[in-house]
Amino acid sequence: MSNSGVEANELNQRRPGSPTLENSAARTNASNLIVVANRIDPGAKISAVTKASDESTLVKIDPSFDIGTAKTLATLAAMRVAFPFASVTATESYSTGHTQFVVLLKTNTEDIRNAKQLYANVGLMQILKQLSNTLALVGLCTYAALLYASAIRPDQQF
């Protein structure tokens, strides 16, 4: 079964009478968050999804208990990078005593759309994006050149 199938089953397992998440922004946000978390920590799972208001969703994610501090911080950083307009924190769960990620996501409201549009038109952001793409290309070319050099001369260290 694919990873997204597991996520869908986890999101559908809830108490009878609880509100449904089918085709809602909360379901989409929770699915996107768990995909990002599972890139670093394959054992991460959603523990709660709560619609805080019409404009925001609160998602709690439990990381694997055995992943360690480095991967926990890497997962936290990955979620912060993937969702820059969200509030992402790592807290200690009172019920389990383990670390838990709490993410407050704003849905695509007017302020989020305005912020995205504002930064899309800022000249400095466009320059940073071009610089980032250029450095990524230079890095890829450097890696390919070093890989080629080590393939033709495997006896030398670079």
29: helix, coil or strand?
helix
How do residues 2-32 score in pLDDT, each as one tens digit? 444 444 444 445 444 444 544 466 777 788 8
DSSP for 49-98, please give it: EEEEETTEEEEEEEPPTTS-HHHHHHHHHHHHHH-TTSEEEEEE-TTT-S
DSSP for 130-154, please give it: HHHHHHHHHHHHHHHHHHHHHHH-T
pTM of the predicted structure, to 2 decimals: 0.55
Q: Cα separation of 32 and 28, whole Å?
A: 6
Cβ–Cβ < 8 Å for 102, 89: yes
pLDDT value of residue 108: 62
How do residues 118-127 score in pLDDT, each as one tens digit? 777 777 877 8
Low-confidence stretches of the chain (pLDDT beneath 70): 1-25, 108-109, 111-112, 156-158
pLDDT value of residue 25: 67
pLDDT value of residue 112: 66
pLDDT value of residue 86: 84
User: DSSP label at 34?
Assistant: H
